[in-house]
């Protein structure tokens, strides 16, 4: 039965007290929504209802609720609301922002076929090469870890998306990735800014109250336009000159060779490759900065990781993907990076397309649905001491662990799950394994010789990156430095 036709409609999910007319507008957080929603869940449960100026908002704070609705009922919950700020920035022609429909399905099919789990082995040489370049950079560490991690993650996705290998710090695509990352980190919570609630603010002057994110979107649209246009023109030029290397974008151009492309078809090519570049580089970059931060605060994890590498790999070679099954602790560290501070703490909201009933609660058609990934990561019903970075939590209890599950929510749910999730996990895993094998991560000392313990402070936007923290990196040994140098020299020779 259609819930809306019932004469006695079930109640809405619980939530904090609301004001007349404006609903929950006054209590809606302006920052760190995921933390506030998690605290509310302790009082109101894992499914919360909010109403702001007539707009229904449902927050899912448990993996179970998100799985039940966004996966098991994905036909009702795969749409997107209009994300005014990010659309104004130009992010809309890619899979993450597209409404559910034919164009979304077209993009998803393209990306899923290219990044399916059984095709990951073709990307592994690229990840291995760039992991060695990352280690070499961290050994020298003349420009800081942020630059090096950014270059690593950008280099992998640029090679896969556009066939271009980044080898130098001044490569044109590195700054493009930085600029796009800035828009994602500083564009505000998607669907949760004043501009999203009052789209008219997009048309008002910057001095008008509430227009901050509208102004930000206008001022930074050039960066997103560059993300789509710069690499597209680069590959087109390389192809015309017979120099294009294998890539996702080249495959799309070859598939449409000889056709006159419409503006929408060109937009599809730019958007489907642009999400590999923009989203793929940014989220993995954040995860690896979170890894460095965790190693400074939990040095015992680094010690245990290095001991596993030394025992399994030894001092005469670097880890490879063939070692995956032999390095269970490295895999647990990778999963804990994704759980401890998710790169997308609340993700992009879904929209319900029909009335629905869940656990006796009414979810109205058109509701904005937030899957609170951070809330799920902090769920004390699932994770013991969830604020602690503890890779052992994933080991079975028979091996001294807690038998806790990895955070599947890190990559979204249902038809909106990230097609590049296998690539992202592989890039994190090989970076962690290579760093454990070759690098010592240590705290920087202040002028008095005391260790500086970095704070757990993160920027807030669609993505959430650690604020800059001091970090020292150096080779574990001369032999490790030589192994890395040999790998990097071979890469430059092959180019």
Which residues contribute to the annotated binding site for heme? 418
Q: Tell me how crowded residue 456 is: count the other CB atoms within 10 A of its CB.
A: 14
Give backbone dihedrals phi and psi of 48, rounded to 5 degrees, phi first: -120, 140
Interatomic CA distance for residues 34 and 42, integer angstroms: 13
The answer to whether the CB of 426 falls within 8 A of the CB of 156 is no
Interatomic CA distance for residues 233 and 97, integer angstroms: 23
| Nearest Cα residue to 82 out of 371, 348, 279, 281 | 348
Question: Residue written as tokens 């206008």?
Answer: 218
Q: Which residues pair with 439 in a beta bridge?
A: 475
Residue 456 tokens read as 């757990």
The answer to whether the CB of 407 falls within 8 A of the CB of 335 is yes
Interatomic CA distance for residues 486 and 81, integer angstroms: 50
How many Cα neighbours within 13 Å face the side chain of 120? Answer: 17
Binding-site residues? 418
Degrees, nearest 5: CA angle 140-146-149: 75
Give backbone dihedrals phi and psi of 357, rounded to 5 degrees, phi first: -125, 130
Question: Residue written as tokens 């954040």?
Answer: 286
Strands 356-358 and 361-363: antiparallel
């Amino acid at each position: 039965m259609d819930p809306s036709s019932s004469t006695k409609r079930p109640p809405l999910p619980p939530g904090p007290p609301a004001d007349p007319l404006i609903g929950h507008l006054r209590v809606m957080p302006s920052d760190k929504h995921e933390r506030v929603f998690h605290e509310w869940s302790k009082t109101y449960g894992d499914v919360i209802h909010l109403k702001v100026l007539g707009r229904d908002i449902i927050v899912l704070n448990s993996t179970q609720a998100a799985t039940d609705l966004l996966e098991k009922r994905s036909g009702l919950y795969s749409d997107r609301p209009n994300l005014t700020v990010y659309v104004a920035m130009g992010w809309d022609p890619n899979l993450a922002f597209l409404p559910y429909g034919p164009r979304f399905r077209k993009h998803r099919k393209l990306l899923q076929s290219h990044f399916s789990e059984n095709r990951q082995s073709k990307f592994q040489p690229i990840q291995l090469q760039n992991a060695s370049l990352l280690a070499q950079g961290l050994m020298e560490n003349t420009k800081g870890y942020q630059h090096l991690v950014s270059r690593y993650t950008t280099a992998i996705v640029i090679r896969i998306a556009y066939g271009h290998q980044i080898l130098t710090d001044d490569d044109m695509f590195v700054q493009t990735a930085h600029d796009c990352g800035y828009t994602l980190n500083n564009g505000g919570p998607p669907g949760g800014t004043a501009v999203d609630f009052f789209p008219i603010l997009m048309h008002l002057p910057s001095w008008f109250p509430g227009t901050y994110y509208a102004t930000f979107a206008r001022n930074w649209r050039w960066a997103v336009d560059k993300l789509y246009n710069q690499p597209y023109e680069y590959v087109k030029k390389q192809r015309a000159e017979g120099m294009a290397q294998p890539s996702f974008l080249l495959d799309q151009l070859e598939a449409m060779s000889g056709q006159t492309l419409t503006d929408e078809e060109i937009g599809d090519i730019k958007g489907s490759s642009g999400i590999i570049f923009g989203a793929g580089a940014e989220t993995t970059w954040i995860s690896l900065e979170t890894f460095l931060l965790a190693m400074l605060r939990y040095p015992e994890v680094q010690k245990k990781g290095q001991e596993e590498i030394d025992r399994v790999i030894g001092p005469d070679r670097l880890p490879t993907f063939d070692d995956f099954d032999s390095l269970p602790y490295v895999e647990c560290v990778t999963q804990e990076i994704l759980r401890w501070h998710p790169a997308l703490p609340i993700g992009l909201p879904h929209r319900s397309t029909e009335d629905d009933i869940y656990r006796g609660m009414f979810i109205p058609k058109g509701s904005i649905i937030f899957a609170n990934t951070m809330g799920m990561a902090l769920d004390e019903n699932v994770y013991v001491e969830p604020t602690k970075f503890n890779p052992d939590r994933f080991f079975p209890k028979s091996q001294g662990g807690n038998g806790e599950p990895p955070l599947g929510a890190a990559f979204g749910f249902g038809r909106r799950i990230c097609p590049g999730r296998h690539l992202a996990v592989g890039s994190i895993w090989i970076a962690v394994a290579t760093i454990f094998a070759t690098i010592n991560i240590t705290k920087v000392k202040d002028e008095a010789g005391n260790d500086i313990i970095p704070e757990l402070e993160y920027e807030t936007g669609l993505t959430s990156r650690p604020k800059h923290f001091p970090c020292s990196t150096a080779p574990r040994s001369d032999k490790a430095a030589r192994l890395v140098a040999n790998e990097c020299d071979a890469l430059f020779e092959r180019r």
